Amino acid sequence: MPDFPISTAFLGGTIVGACLWLLLATRLGWPVSTTHALLGGLVGSALAEVGPDGLRAAVIAKKALLPLLLSPVIAIFLCAGILSLSRLMASRIPPRQNDCCDPETWRSNPYRCATEKTHGKFYRHLPRLWESLHWLSGGATSFARGLNDVPKIAAILILALGLAPGSMALDHQYTVMGAILAVTLVMAAGGLWNGYRVLEVLAYRVATMAPGTGLAANTGTSLLVLLASPLGIPVSTTHVSTGALFGIRLTDKTVPEQGDALRIILFAWVITLPVTGLFAAATSRLF
């Protein structure tokens, strides 16, 4: 947007519009994208401020909207490939012995039935390695989310701080670090406060999950988001993780038992941009 004046009304409309939609979607248990909501808020506020002639629609579509649309599709095929590769390696998993453990315990950790004869002298370390891989994959996904999502929100906060009186006296480096730290802490608080609603939908109502498939989903999500971040491509961790789960669903050819939420997720994705844009435009005009 050339020569676009950054104002309190514009930033306020963007933030309030995105927050209203994210709070509503979380209350309903819909896993929508913060990146998608911010994009809708920016577009809605800009339209309210300068109209369609002042909006660089082609640039927005190429640099923001296109990555948001393509990343879940890439995640589907990436996760399906990872899962298929892991299935090829599954021949190394020892079969359950009658006196080893109950079937449910074996499914959660198949290496309980490993022996020195089947897996060599290091077989005792396999259960701990299996559990560590799960924690590492979850940590990698969280790190990727922070790497790609936090700067988008922090950028809005930095712009707002620039409008404050005496902002020229602020040290730029400390302002950036302070904004990133503040966004990270508040994001963690939001996850603890009400994130379980979205967690339950993704964990149980997109694909039938098991330890192996969960590991594949986390690995695919973290790889894609980590690859996009150094390139400055704004992808949605929510969209990518949902795409990864759908890749599991296609590979296993199963439907979740607790109620399929895929249609409502796709519906929420479709309406995120226009609804957030309307919220932001209305808020911007009120400001």
Q: 277: which 2 tokens?
A: 């844009």
Amino acid at 243: G
Instruction: Break the chain into its structural domains and give their ranges.
Output: 8-286
pTM recorded for the entire structure: 0.80
Q: Residue 103 — pLDDT band, cuts 50, 70, 90?
A: low
Tell me the HSE value of 238 on the side-chain side, using a 13 A CA sphere: 22
Average the pLDDT over 111-122 and give the result.
55
Average the pLDDT over 140-157 and give the result.
90
pLDDT tens-digit series, residues 177-207 = 888 999 999 999 998 888 888 988 998 899 9
Q: Residue 109 — pLDDT band, cuts 50, 70, 90?
A: low
Q: What is the pLDDT of residue 89?
A: 64
Of 109-118, 145-154, 175-184, minimum mean pLDDT range: 109-118
Q: What is the pLDDT of residue 221?
A: 93
pLDDT tens-digit series, residues 10-69 = 999 999 999 999 999 999 999 999 999 999 999 999 999 888 887 888 888 888 889 888
Residue with tokens 């629609």: 57
Calpha distance 41→1 (Å, rounded): 15
* Percent of all residues in the chain with a pLDDT value above 90, rounded to a whole number: 41
Q: What is the pLDDT of residue 129?
A: 74
Q: What is the pLDDT of residue 170?
A: 61
Asked if residue 234 has pLDDT above 90, the reply is no
Asked if residue 116 has pLDDT above 60, the reply is no
pLDDT tens-digit series, residues 203-232 = 889 998 877 788 889 999 999 999 998 888
Q: What is the pLDDT of residue 222?
A: 93
Calpha distance 237→221 (Å, rounded): 7
Calpha distance 15→17 (Å, rounded): 6
Among 85-89, 155-159, 248-252, 273-277, the range of highest mean pLDDT: 273-277
pLDDT higher at 230 or 174: 230
Asked if residue 96 has pLDDT above 60, the reply is no
Concatenated DSSP letters of the chain: -TTPPP-HHHHHHHHHHHHHHHHHHHHHT----HHHHHHHHHHHHHHHHH-GGG--HHHHIIIIIHHHHHHHHHHHHHHHHHHHHHHHGGGGSPPPPTTT--HHHHHH-GGGG--HHHH-TTGGGHHHHHHHHHHHHHHHHHHHHHHHHHHHHHHHHHHHHHTSTTGGGS-HHHHHHHHHHHHHHHHHHHHHHHTHHHHHHHHHSSS---HHHHHHHHHHHHHHHHHHGGGT----HHHHHHHHHHHHHHHHT---TT---HHHHHHHHHHHHHHHHHHHHHHHHH-
Angle, to 10 degrees, between the axis of helix 34-50 and the axis of helix 237-252?
130
pLDDT tens-digit series, residues 269-283 = 999 999 999 999 999
**C-alpha pair distances (Å), 98 with each of 37, 71, 95, 101:** 52, 44, 10, 7
Tell me the HSE value of 248 on the side-chain side, using a 13 A CA sphere: 29
Q: Residue 107 — pLDDT band, cuts 50, 70, 90?
A: low
